[in-house]
Structure 1
Amino acid sequence: MTQKPEPILAIDIGGTTVKYGVWAAENLTHKNRFNTPKTWPELLDKLIAVKRELALPFAGVAVSLPGGVDTVVGKISGTSAVDYLNEFPIKATLRTALGVPVSIQNDANCAALAEAWWGNAKDVDDAIYMIIGTGIGGAMTINGQLMAGQDNFTGEFGYMVMNPAGETFSQLASPVKMAARYQRLKELSTAFTAQDVFDLANNGDTIAQQCVGEMLNWLSIGTFNLYVSLNPQRLLIGGGISARPGFVADLQQRIQHLMHQHKAALTADVRACRFLNDANLIGAVRQFYVENGDEPAAGAVRMEVR
């Protein structure tokens, strides 16, 4: 085993937010975030500024990205939640701009790597990971190995078409899309977050209750379909919504109800990702280790809470 390269700047680029942190000595610190810029030059400038402001002797940068990430070619193929990231050599571009080795991996795959390494899937071989955010991403591990697929598309559950109108799982079950649906139904100009809509639903807003209920319904149908198709030992939920009190238990109950209704003799073991919003960052670090010839052993990850 080679010496672990540290510290590492871990970056998670999402559709609405870019998160980052510093990994060293099995510890994730200096966590922060900023809104995802509208263009690639703006994002690149911001990442360069983050690295410069942290002023640490980074051994490398580990990046989590949306979409079909080709870790060998070093680009996103097809589409992603951040359109301007697609179809150019992002890995090589970042290495040149940041001046250190760079690894890239799909965000849901990063969550899977983190959870299979040190998280809530380390004790099972076969697991599904569903990451709920701007869209719905996912990943699979079978016999402990991350599945990529011929076109690096395994786990892109959000593309599943869910109804005759052609609406996808991401369109119907994403909290971000749910908040936009609420704004549309209320005919308001003010943008809402998913948390806003949950709060309004709790306070008796019937339109908010309708939107939340529909989102949960579609989430349960999609996850039920995954369970009966792939029969995993466990299904882990990631993304900010996974930290919402009662959310995972409610989803498991809904899935189990569908199994009973359709006489599927299965038991749903649904859990939140251990690392919640940090899963993509920690998994990106593991991807960096793997690409640099180091397979870290399992241990006790410590995280600074900020």
Structure 2
Amino acid sequence: MPTQQDDNGLLAVDIGGTSVKYGYWNQQLENSGSFKTPKTWAEMHDKLLSLPSQITQPIRGVAISLPGSVDIKKGQISGTTAVPYLNGFAIRKELSDDFQLPVTIQNDANCAGLAETWIGNAKDVSSVALLIIGTGIGGSIIQDGQLLTGHDHFMGEFGYSILNGQNKTLSDLGSPVQMAKKYTRISESLAPVDAPQIFEKAKQGDKLAQNCINDMVHWLSLEVYNLITSFNPDRLLIGGGISIRDDFLEMIRNRVGTLLKQKGATVTTDIDRCRFCNASNLIGAVAQFLSEYPTLLAIK
């Protein structure tokens, strides 16, 4: 379990496809902020290096959450990612040299898992699977405190699961963003309609909204069922903005419970939401840093 002494802090950064979040960690997250994801590495590089000047406290290291397949030993990412220019070079070494500080990197969904097992809704169990639902869908698996990443650092990319006969993936079928685009298209709405609006329309009796939500929940429930029966974790946590909805979580629980009974799968995995939402990747990046440098922050 990571530990940290007082009066020592980290710069935590979460790089995403649309925005970059950052904050200062010293027992808790402080001085949080964000900026729009730059279009080039040169712009990103300059933005990142300017962050310490915006944080007045001493910084002893930099903990970064990234999209893509992250190789923490090589210090780089590869494969499909929301920020393509981050791929294929030693990003950790470059930033460590420029910051003149230790730098760690980890996949964003893995960071969410680390945050939950450290101080979140999985801190009391031995095994947990996370399903993070957003524009795309990812996740992570942690067993006995160890993050499982796979041979190609691709474990947890559940959005690539193919769930129907048309080769559509879970990210195609289960993303709230894709669900909203579907509703907007079919309804011929003049303006884009987002997922929260569709849930509200469904409550008001809009049949198309109800059908779109039901379809999304159907595919997500199949994936949750597959994860539970494949990995049999103590707990499965659902993250992403949609997870804060009690009605959504209850629909998933009910449908997965029905599937388990229908198929005779006698498992008792808890299904819950993540404790952390927007801050999960930042907190998990800190957990990754503390696991790699367990004594650094104790040095005065």
Q: TM-score, normalised by structure 1?
A: 0.87
Per the TM alignment, residue 3 of structure 1 is displaced from its structure 2 partner at its CA by 6.8
Deviation at 1:121, TM superposition (A): 1.2
**1:259 Cα deviation after fit:** 0.8
Q: Which of 16, 19, 32 lines up with 1:17 in the alignment?
A: 19
Aligned residues: 295
Residue 302 of structure 1 corresponds to: none
- Contact kept, 8 Å, 2:232 with 2:269, in 1: the verdict is no
Report the CA distance shift for 1:42/1:202 in structure 2 as closer, same or farther (over 3 A): farther
Matches for 1:107-256 after TM superposition, within 5 Å: 107-188=108-189, 190-256=191-257
Structure 1 distance, partners of 2:283, 2:105, is 12
Q: How does 1:24-63 map to 2 (within 5 A)?
A: 24=26, 26-63=27-64
Q: Which moved more, 1:264-273 or 1:212-221?
A: 264-273
C-alpha distance in structure 1 between counterparts of 2:115 and 2:3, whole Å:
20
State the match for 1:84 in structure 2. Answer: 85
* Counterpart Cα distance in 1 of 2:271 and 2:3: 36
Shift in CA distance, 205/116, structure 1 to aligned 2, threshold 3 Å: same
Alpha-carbon distance between aligned partners in 2 of 1:33 and 1:192, rounded to the nearest angstrom: 25
Distance 2:243 2:173 in 1: 17
- Structure 1 vs Structure 2 CA RMSD: 2.4
CA contact (8 A) 1:12 1:280 kept: yes
Deviates more, 1:27-36 or 1:274-283: 27-36
Deviations along 1:91-142, one digit per CA (max 9) or x if unpaired, are 2233344443211001111111111112211221111111111211111112
Q: Could you tell me how far 1:19 is from its partner in structure 2?
A: 2.0
Alpha carbons 1:9, 1:21 under 8 Å: kept: yes
Find the counterpart in structure 2 of residue 299 from structure 1.
none
Query: Which shows bigger deviation, 135-144 or 176-185?
Result: 176-185
Query: How far apart, CA to CA, are the structure 2 residues paired with 1:99 and 1:199?
Result: 50
Residue 6 of structure 1 deviates from its aligned partner by: 2.7
Partners of 2:257 and 2:243 in 1: CA distance: 18
Contact 2:13 2:23 in 1 (8 A): yes
Please say if residues 234 and 268 of structure 2, whose CA atoms lie closer than 8 Å, have aligned partners that are also in contact: no
1:6 corresponds to:
8
1:227 and 1:39, CA in 2 relative to 1: closer, same or farther beyond 3 A?
Answer: same
In 1: Cα distance, 2:137 partner to 2:73 partner: 24
8 Å contact from structure 2 (residues 117, 145) kept in 1: yes
Instruction: Say which is worse superposed, 145-154 or 262-271, in terms of deviation.
Output: 262-271
Q: Distance in 2 between matches of 1:80 and 1:291?
A: 24
Higher deviation after alignment, 195-204 or 122-131:
195-204
What are structure 1's unaligned runs of at least 5 residues? 297-306
Give CA deviations for 1:194-239 in whole Å, capped at 9, x if unaligned.
3333333334443333222211111101110111111111101122
Partners in 2 of 1:219 and 1:2 — Cα distance?
Answer: 35
SS of the counterpart of 2:246? coil
